[in-house]
Amino acid sequence: MTDLSHIRNFAIIAHIDHGKSTLADRLIQHCGGLSEREMHDQVLDSMELERERGITIKAQTVRLMYSARDGATYALNLIDTPGHVDFSYEVSRSLAACEGSLLIVDASQGVEAQTLANAYLAIDAGHEIVPVLNKIDLPAAEPQQVREQIEEVIGLDASEAVEISAKTGAGIEDVLEALVARLPAPEGEADTPLQALLVDSWYDPYLGVVALVRIKNGRISKGQRIRMMATDKAYRVDRVGVFTPARTEIDALGPGEIGFITASIRAVADCQVGDTVTDDRMPVEAPLSGFKPSVPVVFCSLFPADAAAFEDLRESLAKLHLNDASFHFDPENSAALGVGFRCGFLGLLHMEIVQERLAREFDLELIATAPSVIYQIHLTDGTSIDLHNPSDFPDVTRIRNIDEPWIKANIIVPDEYLGAILQLCTDRRGEQIDLTYVGGRAMATYRLPLNEVVFDFYDRLKSISRGYASFDYELESYRQGDLVKVDILINGDPVDALSMIVHRGQSEARGRALCVRLKELVPRQLFKVAIQAVIGGKVIARETVGAMRKDVTSKCYGGDITRKRKLLEKQKAGKKRMRQYGNVEIPQSAFIAALRMDDN
């Protein structure tokens, strides 16, 4: 165990792509955590998805030993955090395990929306913050200007900001010295009952649940009986260790330290991130304050493509949830797509990542419905319901009014794209609150209905600005909206998975677009197929797929009937994926394709 005064716990925070993970690489290298041979770029981004997309999704903790210029050796616990707004739950949990933060700003880009948001999270967590100007090797770097921005926009003193290049390694020792000198050491008592914060957890097929903990008081050692305070479950610790970044077992963790434990925990639900771990025989009185529960803002339904995989999906969701407590899931039943789950996420990227992780880490083929937000529906009998699934929409005669969530969004964009971005906001029913200039770029603050944002807003923003606009938002309030539920009917029968709640002004266009798209996707049948978009009983769009005109193999196969029969048998296997609508059968794949196209 390390003396408290020689421990520094810090998170690396920044806007997406400003170089957090690359700086972590240099710090690991400088402190000899990995050999030259073991090193590669963004070594902490170990998930396949992180490597493919070049972004951090999960925060990672590393223990490094640094011999400082003052002659002492410090134990540094570094947490590399994700930069994207959808993963800010990872950031806030990481902040709770540390006393300080390195705020990285790309000196060629300057302060971006997420720099601001994360800096405020760190300030609210009571952190000491060391600003770091990265990428000074780039010709476009303007460290002086960026220092001014930091002071102007965030209000932090940037006079002692460290200038570095995480790429070339310039200034790395300055960062290490600054954090040893400027960040506070943790506080805590070694000889009191154990009190540790469960910061993160994941499932390992061999070890069971692995829990990342920050010891506040007391110590945790191998063989000790511990208790999870929220679930009141006791376990015997069988491993204690740290990541250097290799998983390294040690005997015990003391106050101020961050490390992992395993305790042969198989029941995933027993381990809740934010819980307090204490000693089974000498428990502390009160748990730590834990984490604010995450508030999902975007919902969609997930169905297994193969109905038989429903139980697999349930189990996989539980395991993934251990590693990402910020998404929510509840069972759901759809006539078109079978049994599945209604899931809530912190944003669209989060939704996409969870789907991808389920597909890859658990080998599941999934179907996802279009994203929706939470509406507050006020009924004529005076009661209200929160609704995020269009299929739970009550009868319109029972509805007095509907409120929808609005966000306050900050968009930072180079001047030349401002006009187009303002137009986009206006088209999405946005209201301008503020428009200011920060070092040559515009910062537009808008109020926007969230349901306009979940529908391809981010993609549009990026394409309009050629990737230069950055965007951050927070939920602000609920406001009354003229919202309607649009249903899609096939030969008169509703396709529940395609229902959507939209603003009346857009209902016709969206309904028509979906009908047109389905018309392309529904194969011609023996009978004609009517595709309609309706609001209540009123048809707002209609398309028809004509009956097929010819479908017969005319070539003769002589006596080889087997071949034709085998073809039929294949079709029979495919029939499981068909759904009956009136007198026609529509392949489930048509609905899936319609849902997928929604992504674009």
Partner 1 sequence: MAETIATPDTLAIYVHWPFCRSLCPYCDFNSHVSDHVDHARWRAALLRELEHYAELAGPRRVTSIFFGGGTPSLMAPDTAAAVIEAVAHHFILDEDIEITLEANPTSVESAHLAAFAGAGINRVSLGIQALDDAALAFLGRTHSAEEAITAIEVAAHTFERYSFDLIYARPGQSVDQWRRELEQAIGRTRGHISVYQLTVERGTPFYLAQARGDLVLPDDPVLAALFETTQEVLADAGMPAYEISNHAAPGQACRHNLAYWQYSDYAGIGPGAHGRITAAGRIHATRQHRAPEIWLHRVEDHGHATQTNEPLEPQSVVAELVLMGLRLRCGIDAANFRARAGMALDEAFDPVTLRRLEEGRLIVHNSDGLRATPSGRQRLDSVVAALVV
Ligand X SMILES: C[S@@+](CC[C@H](N)C(=O)[O-])C[C@H]1O[C@@H](n2cnc3c(N)ncnc32)[C@H](O)[C@@H]1O
Q: Interface residues with ligand X (CB under 6 A)?
A: 555-556
Question: 553 touches which of partner 1, ligand X, ligand GTP, none (CB within 5 to 8 A by kind)?
Answer: partner 1
Report d(CA 61, CA 259) in Å as an integer. Answer: 8
The residue (of 414 and 587) whose beta carbon lies closer to partner 1 is 587
Q: Is 110 left (phi over 0), alpha (psi -120 to 50) or beta?
A: left
Cβ contacts of residue 173 below 8 Å, gap of 6+?
30
Decide: is 481 part of the binding site for ligand GTP (CB under 6 A): no
Subset of 17-36 contacting ligand GTP (CB under 6 A)? 17-22
Contact flags string 12-51 toward Mg ion, x per CB under 5 A? --------xx------------------------------
Burial group, residue 173, by CB count within 10 angstroms (0-12, 13-18, 19+)? middle
Report d(CA 408, CA 406) in Å as an integer. Answer: 7
Decide: is 526 part of the binding site for partner 1 (CB under 8 A): yes
Contact flags string 42-61 toward ligand GTP, x per CB under 6 A? x-----------xxx-----
DSSP per residue over 314-365, as a string? Answer: HHHHHHHHHH-TT-EEEEEEETTTEEEEEEEESSHHHHHHHHHHHHHHS---
The residue (of 94 and 532) whose beta carbon lies closer to ligand GTP is 94
Residue 264 CB neighbours (<10 A): 12
Cβ atoms of residues 19 and 109 within 8 Å? no
Report d(CA 447, CA 433) in Å as an integer. Answer: 7
Paired tokens of 411: 């968009």
The residue (of 353 and 489) whose beta carbon lies closer to ligand GTP is 353
Number of residues that bind ligand GTP (CB under 6 A): 21
Q: Which helix (H) or strand (E) holds 130?
A: strand 128-134
In a 3-state reduction of DSSP, which class is residue 56?
A: coil
Cβ atoms of residues 10 and 186 within 8 Å? no
Subset of 549-578 contacting partner 1 (CB under 8 A)? 549-556, 558-562, 564-565, 568-569, 571-572, 575
Decide: is 219 part of the binding site for ligand GTP (CB under 6 A): no
The residue (of 56 and 77) whose beta carbon lies closer to ligand GTP is 56
Question: 165 touches which of ligand GTP, partner 1, Mg ion, none (CB within 5 to 8 A by kind)?
Answer: ligand GTP
Considering only the stretches 54-62, 210-218, 284-292, 555-563, report the one whose residues sit in contact with Mg ion under the rule CB under 5 A: 54-62
CA dihedral for 249, 252, 258, 263, sign (positive or negative): positive
Decide: is 60 part of the binding site for Mg ion (CB under 5 A): no
Subset of 107-166 contacting ligand GTP (CB under 6 A)? 134-135, 137-138, 165-166
CB of 82 to ligand GTP, least distance (A): 5
Question: 55 touches which of partner 1, ligand GTP, ligand X, none (CB within 5 to 8 A by kind)?
Answer: ligand GTP
Residue nearest to ligand X (CB): 555
CB of 524 to partner 1, least distance (A): 8
Cβ atoms of residues 539 and 488 within 8 Å? no
Question: 37 touches which of partner 1, ligand GTP, Mg ion, none (CB within 5 to 8 A by kind)?
Answer: none
Decide: is 56 part of the binding site for Mg ion (CB under 5 A): yes
Cross-strand partners of 542 = 532
CB of 349 to ligand X, least distance (A): 50
The residue (of 37 and 550) whose beta carbon lies closer to partner 1 is 550
Decide: is 82 part of the binding site for ligand GTP (CB under 6 A): yes
Decide: is 241 part of the binding site for ligand GTP (CB under 6 A): no
Decide: is 167 part of the binding site for ligand GTP (CB under 6 A): yes
CB of 555 to ligand X, least distance (A): 4
CB of 40 to ligand GTP, least distance (A): 12
Question: 9 touches which of partner 1, ligand GTP, ligand X, none (CB within 5 to 8 A by kind)?
Answer: none
In a 3-state reduction of DSSP, which class is residue 380?
A: coil
The residue (of 102 and 425) whose beta carbon lies closer to ligand GTP is 102
CB of 567 to ligand X, least distance (A): 16
Question: 583 touches which of partner 1, ligand GTP, ligand X, none (CB within 5 to 8 A by kind)?
Answer: partner 1
The residue (of 397 and 553) whose beta carbon lies closer to ligand X is 553
At which residue do the structure tokens 């395609």 appear?
498
Q: Which helix (H) or strand (E) holds 26?
A: helix 20-30
- Given candidates 527, 535, 577, 593, which one binds partner 1 under the rule CB under 8 A? 527
The residue (of 172 and 284) whose beta carbon lies closer to Mg ion is 172
CB of 543 to partner 1, least distance (A): 18
Paired tokens of 261: 């434990």
Decide: is 308 part of the binding site for partner 1 (CB under 8 A): no
Closest to 306 measured CA to CA, from 352, 266, 365:
365
Paired tokens of 124: 């609210």
Report d(CA 26, CA 84) in Å as an integer. Answer: 22
CB of 523 to ligand GTP, least distance (A): 41
CB of 166 to ligand GTP, least distance (A): 4
* Cα–Cα separations (whole angstroms), residue 538 to 484, 495, 499, 507, 543: 12, 16, 14, 12, 15
Cβ atoms of residues 247 and 175 within 8 Å? no
Number of residues that bind Mg ion (CB under 5 A): 3
DSSP per residue over 212-257, as a string? Answer: EEEEEES-EETT-EEEETTTTEEEE--EEEEESSSEEE-SEE-TT-
Burial 450-463 (b: 16+ CB within 10 A, else e): bbbbbbbbbebbee
How would you list the strands of the sheet with 298-304, edge to edge? Answer: 328-334, 338-345, 298-304, 366-368
Give residues in contact with partner 1 (CB under 8 A).
Answer: 525-527, 548-556, 558-562, 564-565, 568-569, 571-572, 575, 583
Give residues in contact with ligand GTP (CB under 6 A).
Answer: 14, 16-22, 42, 54-56, 82-83, 134-135, 137-138, 165-167
Give residues in contact with Mg ion (CB under 5 A).
Answer: 20-21, 56
